[in-house]
Amino acid sequence: MNVLDIIDRKQHTNFVVDTLYNTLKNIPNVVYSIICGHFFFVALYALIIFSCSPKTMLFKISVIIIIMQIISNIYFNGCFLTKLERKFLGKEWFGFPFTFIFKNPTKIKVNSVYAMGIFVIFSSALYKIYMSP
């Protein structure tokens, strides 16, 4: 990976976040809807993975969403929805629930907890797929 790739990804990230921000900024309290939707979406697919059989379509869709999320977070160097939330709320926002879990949240702390959570969810999915008859 060279420096130009990183610059291109940063420009793509800024383009996506700025476009969404400019589209949504005139809607009152839209950031709270984004936060709730973001949290609900993640909690829903995690719940589906933990509770559904690997043979169900919901389970398969949730696994695909996790893979897409991992790829997206690698490409955008973090979640673009969290970056959008930060554009609305300021740089001290690290996403729900991390802003409330840590007294002084940092990117390293948040990424570590996020990586552990994704590892648990993804490992659970792989285990269920492997162990299903």
Q: What domain count does the chain have?
A: 1
CA distance 106 to 93: 10
pLDDT at 3 over 60: no
Domain range for 43: 3-131
- In tens, the pLDDT along 61-106 reads 988 988 888 888 888 777 888 888 888 888 787 777 777 777 788 8
Contacts of 95 (CB under 8 A, 6+ apart): 38, 79, 82, 85, 110
CA distance 69 to 73: 6
pLDDT at 2 over 70: no
Mean pLDDT value across the chain? 84
Alpha helix (H) ranges present in 29-97? Answer: 30-51, 57-75, 80-89
Distance between start and end Cα atoms, the chain: 41
Closest residue by Cα to residue 13 from 99, 73, 63, 89: 73
